[in-house]
Amino acid sequence: MKIYYSDAHLQHNPPFEIYDGGEKYPHLEVPERAERILAALKQNTWAEIFAPEDFGLDPILAVHDPDYITFLHSAYHEWLQTEADAGYDKTALLPATFPPRKQRRKPKALLGKAGYYISDLSAPLVAGTYAAALAAANCALSGAKSVSQPVYPPQKPAATFALCRPPGHHAGKANCAGYCYVNNAAVAANWLSKQGKTAILDIDYHAGNGTQEIFYDRADVLTISIHADPDNEYPYYSGYADETGRGTGLGFHHNLPLPAGTGDQTYLGTVEKAIALIMAYLPSFMVISAGMDLYAGDPLGKFKVSQEGIHQIGKEIAGLKLPTLVVMEGGYNNAALGENIVALLGNFA
Ligand SMILES: [Zn+2]
């Protein structure tokens, strides 16, 4: 199985994020996550590690607002210049001002723009964020290209894993949030959709709200997200069951929210519902947004899915026998992260 990984992710290592209540904590989404996964994969003979190809900006700009991507590129360095005399720590750009609803004017001031494009206090920009986010998108695109090519023997569909870091599924068309900057899965799925209908199944504990926004009006990419009920859990403002798409996209988005404490049996029953929706759609390609924070021991999650449960989820998806790109999203139990991904991917090897 081809694994796409770039050590450019090491450049994105924000020193802190801000939790509810205003406390400054060490940034939970750390380079160690990707290194642990890589180390666990290397223990398996089926895992072949490749550096990603550079696809340039076009496939990223096909799903993200160009001004937003320019902001990601330049904001941190611009901030160092414009706020040079501000007298506070400038290791991570994180705004304190956010646009009120229905007031979406984009100001010229750097810190105003930061509030415009950064939606919450868990998406700080540091010097290496842009380079890391581009490399992650290139990992997903390289995986997409790989699964789109014919496979021999033909009865075994291709499956690849993009070891993306930073993750992507909370990044919308023009905003970063929740550790996500460029929506790697959406960039790859959009690229694949030019060659055939594509389905995205998001199994991260948190709703894939960025992916939902990006494809909400489209019928050529089916999006399904299984996640914690947003009434009680981040990202709060979308991911509800009655959000099913808009216009030509109506009926092509599905949210399957689940309560805290959900274990293997309920989760796998929900995966079966998702699989039925995917089979009815008849896609040519599958993209899995693989967040491992559904795992019982995750510090950010409240599900009780076991490692065996994660293995079974992979088995259900592999049973579709479709060319499948698995994209890394969240997952913060670092000690179990590598083994959890191996449990998921072993089904495709
Ligand atoms: Zn998550």
The phi and psi torsions of 48 (rounded to 5 degrees) equal -110, 120
The mean per-residue pLDDT over the stretch 209-216 comes to 98
Pairing of strands 159-162, 198-202: unpaired
CATH number at residue 291: 3.40.800.20
Which residues have beta carbons under 5 A from ligand 1 (an ion)? 204-206, 291, 293, 330
**Distance from residue 334's CA to the centre of ligand 1 (Å):** 13
Catalytic residue among 169, 170, 227, 254: 170
- On whether residue 74 sits in a domain, the answer given is no
- On whether residue 94 sits in a domain, the answer given is no
pLDDT at 56: 98
Tell me which residue range forms the domain holding 136.
2-14+24-53+128-345
Tell me which residue of 215, 220, 276 sits closest to 245, measured CA to CA: 215
How much of the chain, in percent, has pLDDT values that exceed 90?
93
pTM here is 0.97
- On whether residue 198 sits in a domain, the answer given is yes
Does residue 170 have an active-site annotation? yes
- On whether residue 298 sits in a domain, the answer given is yes
**Total structural domains within the chain:** 1
- On whether residue 107 sits in a domain, the answer given is no
Express each pLDDT in 288-329 by its tens digit: 999 999 999 999 999 999 999 999 999 999 999 999 999 999
- On whether residue 64 sits in a domain, the answer given is no
**Distance from residue 289's CA to the centre of ligand 1 (Å):** 10
**Distance from residue 241's CA to the centre of ligand 1 (Å):** 18
- On whether residue 108 sits in a domain, the answer given is no
DSSP letter for each residue of 59-84: HHHTTS-HHHHHHHHHHHHHHHHHTT
The SS3 call for residue 263 is strand
Torsion over CA: 311, 316, 322, 324 (sign): negative
**Distance from residue 209's CA to the centre of ligand 1 (Å):** 11
**Distance from residue 297's CA to the centre of ligand 1 (Å):** 13
Express each pLDDT in 34-47 by its tens digit: 999 999 999 999 99
